[in-house]
Structure 1
Amino acid sequence: MASDSKVVDGEAADSLPKGLRSNEALHDPFDWYHNKRSTAPIQYDPNRGVYDVFSYELVKKGLQDAESLSRPQLTEEETDDPLSYFDTGMVWSDGPSHKQVKGELFQYFSPRMLQGIEDSIVSITESQLDTAIADTGELDLVEDFAVPVPLRVIMDFIGIPQDDHEQLLEWLETFRSVMTTEDSDKTSVKGGHMADAAEYFKNLVDERQSNPQNDLISQLSTETELTPEEIGSNCFDFALAGQGTMSELLTNAVYILDQQSYISEIDDYDLSVVLEEILRYRSPLQARARKTTDQITLGETTIPADATVILWIGAANRDPEKFEDPDMFDAFRDPDHLAFGSGSHNCIGAPIARIEAPIILETLFDRFPQVDIDYGNLIPKPKASKLGFDKMPAQFSPPSV
């Protein structure tokens, strides 16, 4: 029997899996993954009314089968919910419409189109460090660094005015709250925010159609057949993913590199390769939720129509059938991980992430090669679907002269 609970990105609104109901388990879910996978690669949880998938092979198959396993839509049809504006984003669609929109957008995330973004990333990172650390040498790596830097980078790329970053961050946080609780836009803590966000993006797209600039919104408005709603909703989604996932990747990276004592010797490693292992080892996105469009068979399990399926990416990326010594962090491993998804819903922003993350971290460590994380006040993110931190206070020391 399928659950009626709202489930987005693997987060069940009514409960967490039994094995992940503590902060310690949410911070380190890998024993739970191994125990569940060793029992069966797919298991039905009657308490949550969902099918959990744990093996690399079947998670990858599930991610690639967009026809039988679809993303839940944001809103019901024929609704005046302001979230309906964002429903036109490709993240929330499947089939021909998803393929058509992604095909239009994909060319703008090619290496050729991303040339020149590096200077912007360095400038934004250095500016944020100047603002955050000042004379104290202390900052919260989440709030003062990992959240604002990726947001400012993706805003610069999309063409959202930098002065609006605080407002945009509030909208992104409201959106996440609405999508992982039973709140609506009207009843959430910041009621009406999504209506304001929709109106903002409508106006921004209209303005760039009339007055194009050197940014993604202008290019999409003048060079593609996408509708204004498709442009605005997808640019909002790019900001959502470009800030959230990147923030978690950056804090996970600093955490792991510190745990492995790599920071002081970071120049000995190819950070681009190391980050691929970080993405496998502590994937920012641990789970994806899907709905079956019809009865399907995944592996040896028959799943009924309209059932919720949780694809545990974090478990797949630690599957010993796929990775040798999966719980060992190997800076030289070149893993075929699923952190960016697979199939038609693979992350379109992965090329930006792969350019952005090494530059941000190299800029940070070049300036501050010694990082002292305050582990006593470290606060992991309290989510099963995402692995990261809500707070990471640290002190930074500049190079010795």
Structure 2
Amino acid sequence: MAGTVHAQPYYDPFDFGIDDDPYPVWKQLRDSAPLYHNDRYGFYALSRYSDVARQLVNWRDFRSGRGTVIEVLLNGIEVPPGVILFEDPPIHDLHRRLMSGVFTPRRMAAIEPMAREFCRRALEPLAEADTFDFIADLGAWMPMRTIGYLLGIPEDRQVAIRQNTDNLLNLDRGEPGNVAADMLSRSGSMLEEFIDWRYEHPSDDLMTDLVNAEIEEVDGRRRRLTRGEVLTYAGTVVGAGNETTTRLLGFAGQLLSDHPDQRRALAADFSLIPNAVEEVLRYEAPSPVQARYVARDVELYGQTVPEGSVMLLLNGSANRDERQYPDPDRFDIRRKAAHLSFGHGIHFCLGAALARVQARVALEEVLTRWPDWEVDYGHARRAHTTSVRGWATLPVRVR
């Protein structure tokens, strides 16, 4: 997959070398090929902020209903019903209203103390250590704990679910199309026993809400969710919420190691942390590429993008566009700038508030214990997964 030399500009989302540092390639696309076509795979890509922001909300031309992951679209993989990320209006709007109940103010208020307690339990045994791993010791487990709380999954079963999720998304285990198909077919199966239990033993958790939820169809009829739909909804929450937040925490650890003055500013003033989280998201988007199916011929930059094509909206590139941000390759925790890392428009990430809470709490707890750390890049390892990018391991030396 990696290491192939091509004439520039060339962008290949399956090339691990490019994925590890896509920013030079993305800059070339923005400057010389703002509408890019990849001859090998046949997809198009938009990389400038103005184009990506505009087309993320243009669901009539750029559709999500056949998948928003390039592997799914290129391989014509059938998308199961109920995956809200892979839907268009009007059914998307009906399902989004249902799923918005996951992230109610009451549940968000309950998340913070639980997330903080998990951080303390995870970090306190490391108090005398001179190293810890942002992913292995914290980032890989904190999202699963909070999502496990939402869904009502016992802690002793969360480890297996987390490991299964990692395995399903890992591109190192096979061809991208096979990985994507396996991910879609198995994402909810690991939750079957918990969902079946909730049918007979309701509780105050999201699974019970889904089991009892009614949905209004487009024609106005109301019905209960099927068991398969409950599995799909719950699997979507687990998969999407786990991976993106894990990568966010890893990028935060890396960037604050690389910028020690800014890290020390955060340690001295926790009120700067929320804005720092936004800058981490802008600078390193955990989910930097959104794929769409082109529903009809579209004219862009004097060219026709034909119906049936695959379009990539490179929100990770848009976040570094010089046309939108001054000095965009400079990491600055005091920068106050919007970004596209949570998407834009009808598909704006439902879990954005949850991710922000987790990142803020994690940084507060880490900085309380270690105001200084340095990444051990010799032992750090990148993750290569479908639809997200970031660190698989990120060990740091603490002082």
Normalising by structure 2, we get a TM-score of: 0.83
The match for 2:211 is: 221
The 1:74–1:382 alpha-carbon spacing in structure 2 relative to 1, beyond 3 Å, is closer
User: C-alpha distance in 1, partners of 2:34/2:120?
Assistant: 45
The match for 2:115 is: 121
Query: Which residue of the other structure, out of 126, 131, 134, is the alignment partner of 1:138?
Result: 131
The match for 1:319 is: 321
C-alpha displacement of 1:382? 4.3
The match for 1:67 is: 60
C-alpha displacement of 1:194? 7.5
The 1:185–1:62 alpha-carbon spacing in structure 2 relative to 1, beyond 3 Å, is closer
The 1:199–1:50 alpha-carbon spacing in structure 2 relative to 1, beyond 3 Å, is closer
1:315-339 Cα distance to aligned partner (Å, 9 max, x none)? 1111122112211222222212100
Paired residues of 2:67 and 2:85 also in contact (CA < 8 A)? no
C-alpha displacement of 1:24? 5.8
Matches within 5 A, 1:1-400: 18=10, 25-71=18-64, 72-73=66-67, 87-130=81-124, 133=126, 136-177=129-170, 181-183=176-178, 198-225=188-215, 227=225, 228-261=227-260, 262-266=262-266, 267-268=268-269, 270-298=272-300, 300-382=302-384, 386-397=388-399
The 1:375–1:307 alpha-carbon spacing in structure 2 relative to 1, beyond 3 Å, is same
1:143-162 Cα distance to aligned partner (Å, 9 max, x none)? 22211111222111222221
User: C-alpha distance in 1, partners of 2:280/2:180?
Assistant: 35
User: C-alpha distance in 2, partners of 1:299/1:115?
Assistant: 47
User: C-alpha distance in 2, partners of 1:250/1:236?
Assistant: 22
Matched residue SS, 1:139 = strand
Matched residue SS, 2:396 = strand
User: C-alpha distance in 2, partners of 1:41/1:138?
Assistant: 43
1:283-333 Cα distance to aligned partner (Å, 9 max, x none)? 111111111122223454421111111111111111122112211222222
Report the RMSD for the aligned CA atoms in angstroms: 3.2
The match for 1:8 is: none
1:19-38 Cα distance to aligned partner (Å, 9 max, x none)? 56876643332222112111
The 1:335–1:297 alpha-carbon spacing in structure 2 relative to 1, beyond 3 Å, is same
Which sections of structure 1, spanning at least 5 residues, go unmatched? Answer: 1-10, 76-82
User: C-alpha distance in 1, partners of 2:184/2:279?
Assistant: 36
Identity value in percent: 24
Paired residues of 2:61 and 2:298 also in contact (CA < 8 A)? yes
User: C-alpha distance in 1, partners of 2:187/2:44?
Assistant: 34
The 1:220–1:382 alpha-carbon spacing in structure 2 relative to 1, beyond 3 Å, is closer
User: Counterpart amino acid of 2:166?
Assistant: E
The 1:253–1:45 alpha-carbon spacing in structure 2 relative to 1, beyond 3 Å, is same
The 1:306–1:109 alpha-carbon spacing in structure 2 relative to 1, beyond 3 Å, is same
Number of residue pairs matched by the alignment:
373
C-alpha displacement of 1:177? 4.0
Paired residues of 2:298 and 2:305 also in contact (CA < 8 A)? yes
Paired residues of 2:169 and 2:386 also in contact (CA < 8 A)? no
C-alpha displacement of 1:375? 2.2
